[in-house]
Copies of this chain bind each other. A is one copy, B any other.
C-alpha cells in the first residue's frame, strides 16, 4: 500500500527546500486530538504524529484486526510478519525514492572512536547537532507493509498455479510528515494483504476486497464511501503520475468522516500492475511476469473514525457495532 493521497486531511506539501512544513490541523481535529490525550487513548510524545496508545485504543484496534482476520479467511492467506525496518537496498530498488522522497526515512548509526563517541554524547546531551557522527546503515524504515513481501515470495522461484495471497498482518510503517492532525501519524499500523498472480486474478481479488472492506466499515456504523484515488507523488512531475493513476483506476480508497472538511481515507486498494513483480522478478508458473495488488487498512485511522462517529465510551456505542467488535 503506497501512501494514500490525504483526502480530507491537511496536505503536507513538500516545501521547495528543507523539511515539509508541519501539517496544520483544523480546529475540530485539534480539539479531537486533545480529547484523545486527556482520556489516555493516545499518549503525547512531544513529536507531532508520534504517539503512545492506551489500553482502550489498543483493544479497539485488536478487535478490528480480528474482523479483518475473519474477512480474509476465505483467501486462506499465508501469514508473514516483518519488522519496522527493511534493507536499504530494497528501498533503493523499489522506486519509492522517486515517487515519495519526502516521506521516506533511513536509519543512521554511530561509527567512530571512543573520542568520537564522547564528542557525540556531549553534543547530544546539550541537544545540539550530533548528526556528523552518524553514518547511513544498510537499513531504512518500512514505508508500506507490503514492501518486504515481494522479495520474500520472489526468493522461492516461480509462483504456484493461481499465485499467492500473503497476509502481512498489522505492521508498523513510517511516513515523514509531522502533523497535529491525529489522523496523520508518522508511525502507524497498516493491516495489509497482498495478492500476487495473473492480471485477472489480481484485479478480481482487489475488486472483491473493496466490497468486503466497504461492508466491514459500514457494518461498524461508519459512513464509508469508495472513491477513485491517487498517491501524494512528490513534486511537479508527481501531478502527472497521479493523473495517470486516477485515469487507469489503479487505486481505490474507502473514505470516512474524521473531523476534516472532507472525508479521510482509512483503507486503500492498489493495483500495481507489473511494478513490484518486475523489480523482484516475480514470475507466474508459465514464466511470464506476475501482477500484484495490495490492500491496507489504516488501523489507527479506523479506531479514530469509530471514536469520532460513536463517542469516546465504547460502552455506549450502538449495540450492533459493539456486537460486531466484542460479540456482545
- Chain A residues at the B interface, C-beta cutoff of 8 Å: 16-19, 43-47, 50-55, 58, 78-87, 89-93, 97-98, 101-102, 104-114, 117, 120-121, 124-125, 127, 129-131, 134-139, 141, 148, 151-152, 155, 169, 172, 174, 176, 186-188, 234-237
Contact = CB atoms under 8 A, between A and B. Distances in A.
A43 B85 contact: no
B121 A101 contact: yes
One complex includes copies of this chain to the number of 2
A95 to B, nearest CB: 8
A239 B127 CA distance: 27
Contacts of A108: 105-108, 131, 134, 136
B187 A45 contact: no
Given A101-B117, A186-B85, A107 B45 contact: no
Nearest to A18: B111
A70 to B, nearest CB: 17
A113 B235 CA distance: 9
A130 B91 CA distance: 12
A16 B110 CA distance: 12
